[in-house]
Amino acid sequence: MTLVHWAPEDLLARLDDVLTVYAEAMEYPADLVAARRGFVAAHTHYQGFRAVATLDNDDRLLGFSYGYLSSPGQWWHEQVRSGLSRGDARRWLSDCFELVELHVRPDAQGHGLGYTQLGALLEGATEATVLLSTPEAPQEDSRAWRLYRRTGFTDVLRHFHFPGDDRPFAVLGRALPLD
């Protein structure tokens, strides 16, 4: 297996593979995943975009992660800000790397790929904080939750609802750099 840093054009060249891994890891239906195509492509143009991928020896995508500088006016940033007090918003969002996606194919999970991707993505990050959102229970006992807790992510918002999604989400964060 090989971990690689991706430029925006690298992610775009493998967008079909990225969406396949996303669908498998999240167990999402094809129509929901197809709707994400435009969002993922647009994210590659955001300030501070960084991405990593894990490839097997045959160049098959096993996992990927990406994010960017969270900024006022961005949809996720504004949604999260609306759920925070003014002080918490200043603390968490004023200099924040937004961890948008971190996924590993189900058949490749349990081998430390998510941990390695997280570390590589945040290595050298100059932002003060990193935030992410993840579905609430029953996923709280998932590998993703265990990874986030093991790497020091704490609760920022719990049982938060994003428009257009009935599921509750947790917003987790931590100070940077990673230890």
Catalytic-labelled residue, pool 46, 66, 115, 148: 148
Q: Are 97 and 69 in contact (CB under 8 A)?
A: yes
Show the low-confidence residues of the chain (pLDDT under 50).
Answer: none
What whole-number distance in Å separates Cα of residue 147 and Cα of residue 118? 9
What is the per-residue pLDDT for 139? 57
* 62 CB-near residues (< 8 Å, 6+ apart): 1, 21, 54, 55, 56, 104, 105, 108, 113
- Which CATH number applies to 2-175? 3.40.630.30
Active site residue 148: yes
What is the per-residue pLDDT for 69? 98
What is the per-residue pLDDT for 98? 98
Domain spans in the chain, listed from the N-terminal domain onward? 2-175
What is the per-residue pLDDT for 59? 97
